[in-house]
Structure 1
């Protein structure tokens, strides 16, 4: 699946503020940035920060990209997976409870979470939690996080 670019415009301060509030704790990705643009594309649009795709719009909701997570020290809600889950995560699979070894204390259902590996603490994917962090660690079956973006997908490989 290729990403087709339609148009590219700079965002007004009012729209940037709106996106920052939707991003919640990830809003600092847009803090004090000079060049914030929207890149309208198919199937998903991007918010470019200084020419880099830092935010992707999926189902009308903004999500930080992994490149943004790697380029900026983001203090965010995390879900740590064991080394056996990495192969599945890097192929875009949703995160299942048995592969989760730890989570941030305040993870609730519906939160945007960063999926990291247990050995290096590197971001592997970004998703939306389906259950609370406590339930993720306690459960021995079932889906815990819906993956939205992962290392190696079209978003990861997208170049401007």
Structure 2
């Protein structure tokens, strides 16, 4: 997928404040930023924080990118997958309950979650939970998370 840039503008403080609210627990990404810009592009728009694509807008909802997660050590709602699931996750597959080893118990349906590997706790993907964190661990079948962004996709490889 090619990302085609349309325009780039700085965000006003009021818009940054709204964005922080929409990001919820991931708003730390914008904490000490000096320059916050919107990069309107096809198929997804990005929020650049000091020139880096730290936030992506998917379906009018902001998601932190994996680059932001790596650079800022995000401590949001986390789901840990076993080592056997890594191959599938890094190819963009949705996360299935059997591959989940651990999940924060405060995860609710519709929450933005960070998917990390079991051994190194490195971010592999970001997605939207389809069930609660407790259900993710308890269930032995079914889809638990819809993947929105993963290591190696066009968002990961995007550079400004």
Q: TM-score surpassing 0.5? A: yes
Question: Counterpart of 1:125 in 2: which secondary structure?
Answer: strand
Alpha-carbon displacement from aligned partner over 1:16-66 (angstroms, at most 9, x marks no partner): 000110000001111131100000000000000000000000000000000
The yes-or-no answer on 1:159 pairing with 2:159 is yes
Name the CA distance, whole Å, in 2 between partners of 1:28 and 1:141: 34
Aligned residue number for residue 24 of structure 2: 24
Structure 1, gaps ≥5 residues long: none
Aligned residue number for residue 149 of structure 1: 149
Question: Counterpart of 2:126 in 1: which secondary structure?
Answer: strand
The yes-or-no answer on 1:8 pairing with 2:8 is yes
Aligned residue number for residue 112 of structure 2: 112
Give the length in aligned residue pairs.
160
Q: Mean Cα displacement is larger for which, 86-95 or 101-110?
A: 101-110
Question: Counterpart of 2:98 in 1: which secondary structure?
Answer: helix
Aligned residue number for residue 94 of structure 1: 94
User: What TM-score, normalized by structure 1, do the two folds share?
Assistant: 0.99
User: What TM-score, normalized by structure 2, do the two folds share?
Assistant: 0.99
Aligned residue number for residue 129 of structure 1: 129
